């Protein structure tokens, strides 16, 4: 491999801790640029420390984002200059080397597996992100390719309805368990918690993609025992943040795109218009994934603020073929599918498992 395990950790330390820009959008651009530079370096088999300027100037993948936001050429150059500066200053940097050593020690103390971008255990689905995470950190057993192909991200807002949403989480978890599929959620409060608990109670498979380091405190703190239970029962915790890193707005956004990449579909239990759930949805729509959305029509939640996100998504879906059997191509083009009693979701799982020749909604 181009980078040793220690070098991979060093790149992750730089990726997670260096910042540029005053807004969250600018910081996301910088993180994506950094990740893309590492990915390009690996593909070209040229170390970023040998010739950072050459690698950074080699690609222009992210310049479309700047153009879309009316960024001028000199502003793009500032980002690239900052990245080169960070890489050059990291050579033989005692402070950074000490941080790398501490993070390596934490991995050993907390049974955290280090999975660099070059590692054969790095999920191929995560590699398909335009700017893939430089390194993944895992506690527990990460599913193989087939396992990730048979996975759904069951997610939603932090403060959902206390009656209907847990019931829907139970139904979805049962359907996944019966078909041997994974529920990969985010271990956040509310919908994520309901989904994880339901999967564990029913003996299903569940894992979590989290926006903080796996040696830092679980967030929310009250989910600490739940996190332990997920790992103890054959699941996993996965993060692209170095072990000591705490969650922040940027890491949450990065987590959402990783969660979307790893899973085959989303199931939205309940979301308002402010929830980060919609960020995950946005990534999934761009990659043309299937998105199931609880339809609150006729329920006590109809027209409530907590389901305005559900209603927005349902207003976007195509109605073609949703009331009859249809081919996979037609189904794939729908993207968003409303769910009331859950039958459509079970039918989809049957179809994806090859237990049905057509998808009946």
CB atoms within 10 A of CB 206: 28
Res 193 pLDDT > 90: yes
Nearest to 339 by CA among 156, 198, 192, 203: 156
Ramachandran category for residue 178: left, alpha or beta (phi over 0 → left; psi -120 to 50 → alpha): alpha
Q: What percent of the chain is predicted at pLDDT more than 70?
A: 89
Give the CA angle between residues 36, 82, 130 to the nearest 5°.
15
Q: Using CA atoms, how far apart are residues 11 and 83, in angstroms rounded to an integer?
A: 12
Res 5 pLDDT > 60: yes
So what's the pLDDT on residue 95?
A: 96
More confident residue, 316 or 269: 269
- Strand 151-155: give its sheet, edge to edge: 113-116, 135-140, 236-239, 205-209, 182-185, 151-155, 265-268, 290-294, 336-339
Mean pLDDT, rounded, for 250-254: 95
| Span between the terminal Cα atoms of the chain, in Å | 48
Lowest mean pLDDT among 59-73, 84-98, 240-254: 59-73
CA distances, 286 to each of 247, 261, 280 (Å) = 25, 11, 10
Res 329 pLDDT > 60: no
More confident residue, 56 or 47: 47
Q: What is the pLDDT of residues 278-313, one digit of tens each?
A: 999 988 888 889 999 999 988 888 888 999 999 999
Residues 6+ apart with CB under 8 A from 344: 292, 337, 338, 361
Residue-averaged pLDDT of the chain: 88
Nearest to 207 by CA among 244, 154, 275: 154
Transcribe 116-144 into DSSP letters: ETTSTTS-HHHHTSSS--SEEEEEE----
Lowest mean pLDDT among 136-145, 189-198, 260-269, 329-338: 329-338
Transcribe 22-88 into DSSP letters: SSHHHHHHHHHHHHHHHHHHHHHT--TTT-HHHHHHH--TTHHHHHHTT--HHHHHHHHHHHHHHHH
More confident residue, 321 or 157: 157
Instruction: Give strand pairing partners of 183.
Output: 152, 206
Domains of the chain: 5-114 (no CATH), 141-352 (3.40.50.450)
So what's the pLDDT on residue 80?
A: 87
Confidence of residue 59 (pLDDT cuts 50, 70, 90): low
Q: What percent of the chain is predicted at pLDDT more than 90?
A: 68
So what's the pLDDT on residue 330?
A: 36
So what's the pLDDT on residue 327?
A: 35
More confident residue, 20 or 208: 208
CA gyration radius, the chain: 21
Q: Using CA atoms, how far apart are residues 309 and 293, in angstroms rounded to an integer?
A: 9
Lowest mean pLDDT among 85-89, 93-97, 252-256, 279-283: 279-283
Mean pLDDT, rounded, for 89-103: 96
Res 29 pLDDT > 80: yes
Mean pLDDT, rounded, for 24-47: 92
So what's the pLDDT on residue 356?
A: 66
Q: Using CA atoms, how far apart are residues 29 and 20, in angstroms rounded to an integer?
A: 9
Instruction: Give strand pairing partners of 138.
Output: 113, 238
So what's the pLDDT on residue 112?
A: 98
Res 63 pLDDT > 80: no
Confidence of residue 25 (pLDDT cuts 50, 70, 90): confident
Residues 6+ apart with CB under 8 A from 215: 106, 107, 109, 110, 112, 243, 244
Mean pLDDT, rounded, for 92-101: 96
Res 318 pLDDT > 70: no
The highest-confidence range among 37-46, 71-80, 317-326, by mean pLDDT, is 37-46
């Amino acid at each position: 491999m181009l980078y040793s395990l220690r070098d991979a950790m060093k790149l992750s330390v730089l990726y997670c801790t260096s910042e540029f820009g005053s807004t969250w959008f600018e910081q996301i651009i910088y993180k994506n640029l950094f990740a893309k530079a590492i990915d390009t370096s690996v593909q070209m088999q040229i170390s970023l420390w040998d010739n950072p300027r050459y690698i950074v100037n080699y690609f222009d993948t992210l310049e479309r984002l700047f153009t879309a936001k009316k960024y001028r050429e000199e502003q793009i150059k500032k980002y690239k200059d900052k990245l080169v500066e960070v890489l050059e200053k990291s050579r033989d940097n005692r402070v950074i080397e000490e941080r790398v050593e501490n993070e390596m020690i934490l991995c050993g103390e907390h049974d955290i597996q280090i999975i660099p971008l070059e590692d054969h255990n790095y999920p191929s689905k995560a590699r398909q992100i335009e700017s893939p995470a430089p390194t993944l950190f895992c506690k527990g057993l990460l599913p193989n390719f087939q396992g990730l192909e048979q996975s759904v991200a069951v997610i939603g807002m932090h403060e959902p309805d206390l009656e209907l949403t847990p019931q829907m989480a139970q139904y979805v978890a049962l359907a996944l368990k019966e078909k041997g599929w994974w529920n990969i959620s985010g271990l956040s409060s509310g919908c994520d918690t309901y989904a994880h608990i339901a999967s564990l109670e029913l003996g299903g498979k569940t894992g979590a993609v989290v926006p903080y380091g796996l040696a830092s405190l679980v967030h929310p703190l009250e989910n600490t025992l739940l996190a332990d239970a997920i790992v103890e029962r054959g699941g996993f915790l996965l993060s692209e943040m170095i072990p000591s890193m705490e969650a922040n707005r940027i890491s949450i956004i990065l987590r959402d795109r990783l969660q979307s990449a790893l899973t085959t579909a989303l199931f939205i239990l309940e979301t308002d218009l402010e929830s980060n759930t919609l960020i995950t949805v946005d990534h999934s729509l761009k990659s043309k994934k299937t998105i199931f959305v609880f339809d609150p029509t006729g329920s006590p939640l109809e027209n409530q603020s907590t389901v305005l996100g559900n209603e927005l998504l349902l207003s976007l879906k195509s109605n073609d073929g949703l009331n009859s059997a249809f081919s996979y191509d037609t189904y794939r083009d729908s993207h968003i599918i409303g769910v009331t009693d859950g039958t459509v979701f079970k039918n989809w799982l049957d179809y994806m498992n090859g237990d049905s020749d057509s998808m009946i909604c």
